[in-house]
Structure 1
Amino acid sequence: MGLIIMSCVIVLFIVMGIIFSNGKGAFLIAGYNTMSKEEKEKYDSVALCKFMGKLMFALSFAMVFWLLAIIYSTNILFVVGFILFFIFLVFGLIYIGSSGKFQSKK
């Protein structure tokens, strides 16, 4: 059962990564979708979506270790996947918040 659920979550993250990589789906980004129209104009939504796509692919890669941990019944793979997931997530949040890359050029 856990194998099926984890596989579905990984596929969902990959599909979302594909959507984001095409520069679409900004309404799915928490925080961005709650901004006013004036606030949204301050950001380059395409660049933000493309970065989120890369982040989704990285997170799904980390989750593959969780899947392998279920298949091989070993905790070390789960720990490796969790550490990678945490590192990717923290890096992504810090990069989005501190980088001026996502500020609109307008």
Structure 2
Amino acid sequence: MLVTAIIFILLGALIKYGKFYFLIAGYNTMTKEEKEKYHIEGIATLFKNVMFGMAILIIIGYFASKYFEDANLQNIFFYISIAIGVPYLLIQSNSKKYKK
């Protein structure tokens, strides 16, 4: 599970700081005119924050499972991070907040 957290951190950093916007679904297929309608820096920041948040929850779950010697805690934290992070990311990134 720590590998998943590291992947989320890397993806968040690459999207925000490496400007790997092609990793954002649908963005690379837009025309130049359509891309200009969106505040991509804001969306990239959102992706970074959500990915980092999901990674932190996964890491907390990993250490909690080790501390309490309960392997199920790791899975619970992982699924909670996905269940909260993915819908939040989808709803926020498609909101009017990031349209110019």
TM superposition score category, shorter chain reference: 0.7 to 0.9
Q: Give the TM-score of the pair, scaled to structure 2.
A: 0.76
- Taking the aligned partners of 1:69 and 1:82, their CA distance within structure 2 comes to 15
Q: Secondary structure at the match of 1:11?
A: helix
- Taking the aligned partners of 1:13 and 1:83, their CA distance within structure 2 comes to 15
| Structure 1, gaps ≥5 residues long | 1-5
Deviation, structure 1 residue 65: 4.8
Structure 1 range deviating more: 81-90 or 68-77: 68-77
Going from structure 1 to structure 2, the CA distance change for 1:101 and 1:23 (only over 3 Å counts) comes to farther
The within-5 A match list for 1:24-103 is 24-65=19-60, 67-68=62-63, 72-98=69-95, 100-103=96-99
- Taking the aligned partners of 2:75 and 2:25, their CA distance within structure 1 comes to 27
Q: Give the TM-score of the pair, scaled to structure 1.
A: 0.73
Equivalenced residues, count: 98
What percent of counterpart residues are identical? Answer: 33
Matched AA of 2:33: E
1:41-85: per-residue Cα shift (whole Å, max 9, x none)? Answer: 111111111111111101212322554477545213312331232
- Taking the aligned partners of 2:7 and 2:76, their CA distance within structure 1 comes to 22
Please say if residues 16 and 56 of structure 1, whose CA atoms lie closer than 8 Å, have aligned partners that are also in contact: yes
Going from structure 1 to structure 2, the CA distance change for 1:57 and 1:95 (only over 3 Å counts) comes to same
| Structure 2, gaps ≥5 residues long | none
RMSD, aligned CA: 2.3
1:3-39: per-residue Cα shift (whole Å, max 9, x none)? Answer: xxx3333222212222333372211111112212221
- Taking the aligned partners of 2:52 and 2:21, their CA distance within structure 1 comes to 16
